[in-house]
Amino acid sequence: MVNCHKERKRLKVRGCTYRVDVFKVAEDSDRVPLVLLHGFSLSGRIFSFLAEKLSKKGQVITIDLLGHGDTEAPLQIERYQMSEQVKDLTEIFYQLQLTHPVLHGYSMGARVALCTAVMSERHLSGLVLESGSPGLFNAEERATRRESDEQLAVRIEREGVDSFSGQWITLPLFATQSRADRQQLAIQDSIRRNQNALGLAHSLRGIGTGAQPSMWDEISRISCQTLLLTGNEDQKFTHIAGEMLKKIPQATHHVIEQCGHAVYLEQPEQWLKQIENFWAACSQEGRNL
């Protein structure tokens, strides 16, 4: 049996300290690295139970995004902008010597991953967008969303993360998660309730859906293989993925049955199957880059 080694790292990245966990097997692997990015109010820990299984095939990296988990929450709102976070992610790749990784992102993490694929010069072997979006189409929609994101940010700062956590999980978007494994749900609840209020608030202001520039006209530039992953009960993001499929040259879209917004949580075995197959295919191509 292959043993998984987990190494917790604290990386200084452009003036901020990041929490990064590296899961790897004892012997060499021919897989390119796989990087997993979490959603809003979560951390890289949500992927630990999956990363341990995936690491039997190769190196898996989870990252706490800026203002989340054990990564620093800087005071300057500007530091949270998407362009800044893409630079951070690229620097993390450089420090860890991750050559042509496969980059996966869930929800907010999917938006960061997508923008990295568009903005960064570093070539990816593959891109996985789980329940992700290129942003809102027009300026009016973005302005309306920025206003609601700011209201939520202020509420988090005033009432604290405990109050926010209890309200957040009741959103219709997450209703299907009640069927998920209770232990994993408890882990996610603990992660949310231990977040930094300032970090979450500034994250909304910096890379919330309203703050993010629209990437709809840019995603045709994504040159790597791309997997769009959604749950069939999440009609909104399944529709968005269908529209992205028309624009991203090497994209495929897999819809997971009996599943909502969080495929990794609600259908982990199906998630593992999709990720493992895609990772293997991208690794074969990545070795030739």
What's 241's domain CATH number? 3.40.50.1820
DSSP 37: E
Question: Does the pTM exceed 0.85?
Answer: yes
From the list 150, 153, 176, the residue with the least C-alpha distance to 73 is 153
Query: What mean pLDDT, rounded, does the chain reach?
Result: 95
Q: Are strands 225-231 and 251-256 parallel, antiparallel or unpaired?
A: parallel
> What confidence category does residue 135 fall into, taking pLDDT thresholds of 50, 70 and 90?
very high
Give tens-digit pLDDT for 157-175.
Answer: 999 999 999 999 999 999 9
Cβ(287)–Cβ(30) below 8 Å:
yes
> What confidence category does residue 20 fall into, taking pLDDT thresholds of 50, 70 and 90?
very high
Other Cβ atoms within 10 Å of 18 Cβ, number: 24
Give tens-digit pLDDT for 22-78.
Answer: 998 756 788 999 999 999 999 999 999 999 999 999 999 999 999 999 999 999 999
pLDDT surpassing 60 at residue 287: no
The pLDDT score that the predictor gives to residue 29 is: 82
288 versus 125: which is more confidently predicted? Answer: 125
Lowest mean pLDDT among 24-33, 101-110, 124-133, 217-226: 24-33
Burial classification of residue 70, based on how many CB atoms lie within 10 Å of its CB (0-12 exposed, 13-18 middle, 19 or more buried):
middle
> Which range of residues forms the domain containing residue 112?
4-286
> Measured in whole angstroms, how far is the alpha carbon of residue 173 from the centre of its chain?
17
Domain count of the fold of the chain:
1
Cβ(18)–Cβ(63) below 8 Å:
yes
Q: Which amino acid is at 80?
A: Y
The pLDDT score that the predictor gives to residue 269 is: 98
The pLDDT score that the predictor gives to residue 1 is: 47
The pLDDT score that the predictor gives to residue 272 is: 99
> Measured in whole angstroms, how far is the alpha carbon of residue 110 from the centre of its chain?
4
